[in-house]
Amino acid sequence: MHPFYDGNGRTARALARLLLLRGGYAFDGLVSLDAYLDNDRRAYFDAIRDSAGIEYRPPYDATAFVEYFVRSIVGAADFVLSRVKGLTLVLAALRRDVIAGRLPARVQDGLVYAWVNGSLRPAPVINVHPALLPFFGGKGMHGDKVHAAVLAAKAKESGVTVHRVHPDTVDLGEVVVQRRVPVNEGDDVATLSARVLAVEHEAIVEAVRRCIAKEAVS
């Protein structure tokens, strides 16, 4: 079992948290041991190999893995502490700027809003899809799969869609920007992908501009 987010890592993560909790290390939610281990997967598997050997034959000496695991716990905690210390410095500098009146008016307005409402409004999340939604979208439709589906359907045009992202949906958010390109006779996935990519950057820039303008008005 591995502790990483992809695949079947849930059981290993649950066991690790349970053992830490029983040992008095109840920092779940503050320290992400999973994310720390994920930074160097090779070290994780090397520690298992050093303990269990190439072939698993109990009983074996687990000292190497236990030492690695303890170092990982300390490393993950140190990482969070360094971020907290950095945040403390940022807050101190921000406090000085507030007292001295050096903050731009827009930042001051944001701080007042956060103070009154408890938080800032979440920024909109957008996604870039390499086709003209609502066509050729949905779960599992990404990258070359999309272009292959467009070609298989003998569509006359394709393009790029920048849309808002909503929780628990896939490619169903409001369209912010679309750019169209023709599908030429003889196109394959590579040529169509290149043509769509050529308008993708322009679409992203325009979508960001529209989102910023809408947030400013609202």
129 catalytically annotated:
yes
Burial bucket for residue 218 (CB in 10 Å: 0-12, 13-18, 19+): exposed
Q: What is the C-alpha end-to-end distance of the chain, expressed in Å?
A: 48
Q: Catalytic pick from 2, 129, 147, 163?
A: 129
Q: How many angstroms separate the most distant Cα atoms in the chain?
A: 68
Contacts of 108 (CB under 8 A, 6+ apart): 98
Give the catalytic positions in this structure.
129
